[in-house]
């Protein structure tokens, strides 16, 4: 997991409205910049034009110097067309990364104009869309205040330090943010957030914004976002199941990182029994329950201002597909998706918000008979061979429950640290 090292700020309608300065909004952004510096995160300013401030009895002063004076630290400033290429070009953002020794997964971009949308996308950064001066763009993650950006950084970017759980073994790559631990002796702090997380991922309730932004931050800071070409949410148990609101954050970060988010790429063509229902009826969940009820959609929908369906099957051969699900228990859902995408020639990365701990070992699909030859058509296996991965032996961060619990509690009532003027 990368550390957040820098945030690039556009000037226009972020740090000030061109032509005037709103004192309340200005000093709120000064607080944000001071807060970032206190956390070891370097703010950087960019603009395509020269900005000056006229001060009574002092005359004109460059805006970046005026701002730096209030922040108490000289802020790096780059003007497009002079210090770097115009900011909307990838070469401009790369020049800033090179200057500071950063990589794209270590940086976010704050802006709200169409030029900012291009700058963030071409740089490989998610756009934090500053809405406090105006509504100039529908893209990116919307933030109503500089304080909202600070709480996002503090609660979603600085913690946790790593994935809670994960496996990397050949073509199998799967990660999860936190243990689903409503009643767990091993992860007692999980009770603080697990009920809320379950509501968010299952019922469009709970603190959807926190869990959405947390996953978005994990995708970017892990570097996974720069690898993927397509992103697909795993569908609900019925063909009529709606996409959860929580997946909106995944869609936004996908678009920011230039991956195609296809909400209906995995097609649930037949009802699948829930694992809990099977257990209650004395049956065991299996991969067959998922493999025989999904397929790939040959004409999925592109997410964007215009939702257009593919006319031909998406070419995913040798591309990387990120599949996101809510809760991983034994992995049958995610493994079924991996089997279909790999049959279509893709590389696959699997993510979930929560991983059920305890004896719920991961059941990876090792071999399917017959092999999936037509991944865009219905399929029914006769035999599935599994490779079992110990749940406990693949815990990466045993403190994840404590870290997530602290971040969750902090986010709910976040305020500026005392003494930050």
Q: What span, in angstroms and rounded, lies between the C-alpha atoms of 322 and 254?
A: 10
Cβ atoms of 83 and 98 within 8 Å: the answer is no
Q: What is the pLDDT of residue 278?
A: 63
SS3 352: strand
Give yes or no for residue 304 having a pLDDT over 80. Answer: no
Give yes or no for residue 305 having a pLDDT over 60. Answer: no
Q: What is the pLDDT of residue 291?
A: 93
Q: List, for residues 218-240, the tens digit of each pLDDT value.
A: 999 999 988 999 999 999 888 88
* Burial (CB count <10 Å: 0-12, 13-18, 19+), residue 310: middle
Q: Which pairing describes strands 383-389 and 362-369: parallel, antiparallel, or unpaired?
A: antiparallel
CA angle 76, 77, 81 (to 5 degrees): 145
Q: Distance between alpha carbon 87 and the CA centroid of its chain, in Å?
A: 24
Helices (H), 136-207: 146-152, 194-203
The encoded tokens of residue 394 equal 């693949």
Average pLDDT over residues 305-315: 81
Omega before 344 within 30 of 0, i.e. cis: no
The β-bridge partners of 324 are 233, 351
The encoded tokens of residue 300 equal 């999925």
Q: List, for residues 375-391, the tens digit of each pLDDT value.
A: 999 999 999 999 999 99
Average pLDDT over residues 22-42: 92
Q: Which H or E element spans position 354?
A: strand 347-355
Cβ atoms of 300 and 329 within 8 Å: the answer is no
Confidence of residue 306 (pLDDT cuts 50, 70, 90): low
Q: What is the pLDDT of residue 25?
A: 86
Q: What span, in angstroms and rounded, lies between the C-alpha atoms of 29 and 50?
A: 20
* Burial (CB count <10 Å: 0-12, 13-18, 19+), residue 23: exposed
Q: What is the pLDDT of residue 19?
A: 67
Within 80-130, strands assigned E span 107-111, 127-130
Give yes or no for residue 44 having a pLDDT over 60. Answer: yes
The β-bridge partners of 25 are none
The third-level CATH classification (topology) of the domain covering 6-157 is Rossmann fold (3.40.50)
Start-to-end C-alpha separation, the chain: 31
Average pLDDT over residues 241-246: 78
Q: What is the pLDDT of residue 256?
A: 76
Q: Tell me 397's DSSP state.
A: -
Q: List, for residues 192-219, the tens digit of each pLDDT value.
A: 888 888 888 887 788 888 988 998 999 9
Cβ atoms of 163 and 349 within 8 Å: the answer is no
Cβ atoms of 362 and 265 within 8 Å: the answer is no
Phi-psi label, residue 94: left if phi above 0, alpha if psi -120 to 50, beta otherwise = alpha
Neighbours of 26 (CB within 10 A): 18
From residue 70, how far is each of 21, 32, 34, 65, 421 by CA, in Å?
14, 12, 9, 9, 10
CA angle 193, 169, 285 (to 5 degrees): 60
The pair phi, psi for residue 301, each rounded to 5°, is -100, 130
User: Percentage helix, strand, coil, to 5, in the chain?
Assistant: 35, 25, 40
Closest CA to 197 of 413, 416, 412, 391: 412
Q: What is the pLDDT of residue 250?
A: 85
Cβ atoms of 243 and 268 within 8 Å: the answer is no
Q: What is the pLDDT of residue 280?
A: 66
Q: Which pairing describes strands 266-268 and 127-130: parallel, antiparallel, or unpaired?
A: unpaired
Q: What is the pLDDT of residue 281?
A: 63
Give yes or no for residue 262 having a pLDDT over 70. Answer: yes
The pair phi, psi for residue 291, each rounded to 5°, is -60, -35
Give yes or no for residue 175 having a pLDDT over 60. Answer: yes
In terms of average pLDDT, the best of 36-40, 79-83, 253-257, 272-276 is 36-40
Q: List, for residues 66-107, the tens digit of each pLDDT value.
A: 889 888 999 999 999 899 999 989 899 999 999 999 999 999
Q: Residues near 386 by Cβ (< 8 Å), separated by ≥ 6?
A: 287, 363, 364, 365, 366
Q: Tell me the pTM.
A: 0.90
Give yes or no for residue 9 having a pLDDT over 80. Answer: yes
Q: Residues near 98 by Cβ (< 8 Å), separated by ≥ 6?
A: none
Give yes or no for residue 7 having a pLDDT over 60. Answer: yes
Q: Where in the sequence of the chain do the CATH 3.40.50.1000 domains occur?
A: 6-157
Supply the mean pLDDT for the chain.
Answer: 89
Average pLDDT over residues 6-18: 87
Percentage above 70 pLDDT, the chain: 96
Cβ atoms of 116 and 127 within 8 Å: the answer is yes
Q: What is the pLDDT of residue 139?
A: 81
Helices (H), 222-328: 247-256, 275-280, 287-291
């Amino acid at each position: 997991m990368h550390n957040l090292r820098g945030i690039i700020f556009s000037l226009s309608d972020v740090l000030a409205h061109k032509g005037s300065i709103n004192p309340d909004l200005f000093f709120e952004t000064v607080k944000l910049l001071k807060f970032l510096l206190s956390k070891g995160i370097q703010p950087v300013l960019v603009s395509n034009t020269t900005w000056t401030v006229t001060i009574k009895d002092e005359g004109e002063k460059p805006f970046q110097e005026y701002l730096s004076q209030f922040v108490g630290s000289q802020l790096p400033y780059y003007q497009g067309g002079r210090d770097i290429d115009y900011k909307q070009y990838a070469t401009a953002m790369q020049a800033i990364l090179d200057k500071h020794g950063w990589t794209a997964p270590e940086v976010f971009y704050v802006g709200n104009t169409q030029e900012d949308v291009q700058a963030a996308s071409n740089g490989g950064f998610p756009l934090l869309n500053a809405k406090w001066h105006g509504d100039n763009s529908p893209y990116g993650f919307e933030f109503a205040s500089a304080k909202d950006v600070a709480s996002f950084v503090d609660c979603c970017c600085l913690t946790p330090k790593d994935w809670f759980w994960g496996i990397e073994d050949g073509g199998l790559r799967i990660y999860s943010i936190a243990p689903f631990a409503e009643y767990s002796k091993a992860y007692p702090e999980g009770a603080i957030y697990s009920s809320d997380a379950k509501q968010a991922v299952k019922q469009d309730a709970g603190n959807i914004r926190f869990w959405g932004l947390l996953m978005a931050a994990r995708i970017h800071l892990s570097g996974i976002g720069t690898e993927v070409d397509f992103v697909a949410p795993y569908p609900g148990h019925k063909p009529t199941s709606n996409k959860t609101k929580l997946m909106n954050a995944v869609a936004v970060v996908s678009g920011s990182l230039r991956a195609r988010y296809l909400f209906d790429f995995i097609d649930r063509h037949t009802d699948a029994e829930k694992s809990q229902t099977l257990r209650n009826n004395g049956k065991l969940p299996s991969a067959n329950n998922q493999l025989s009820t999904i397929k790939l959609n040959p004409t999925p929908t592109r997410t964007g201002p215009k939702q257009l369906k593919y006319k031909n099957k998406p070419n995913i051969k040798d591309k990387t597909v990120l599949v996101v699900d809510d809760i991983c228990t034994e992995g049958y859902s995610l493994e079924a998706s991996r089997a279909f995408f790999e049959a279509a020639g893709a590389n696959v990365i699997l993510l979930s918000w929560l991983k059920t701990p305890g004896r719920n070992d991961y059941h990876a699909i090792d071999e399917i008979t017959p092999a999936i030859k037509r991944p865009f058509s219905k399929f029914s296996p006769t035999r599935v061979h599994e490779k079992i991965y110990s749940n406990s032996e693949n815990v990466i961060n045993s403190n994840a429950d404590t870290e997530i619990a602290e971040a969750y509690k902090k986010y709910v009532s976040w305020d500026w640290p005392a003494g930050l003027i």
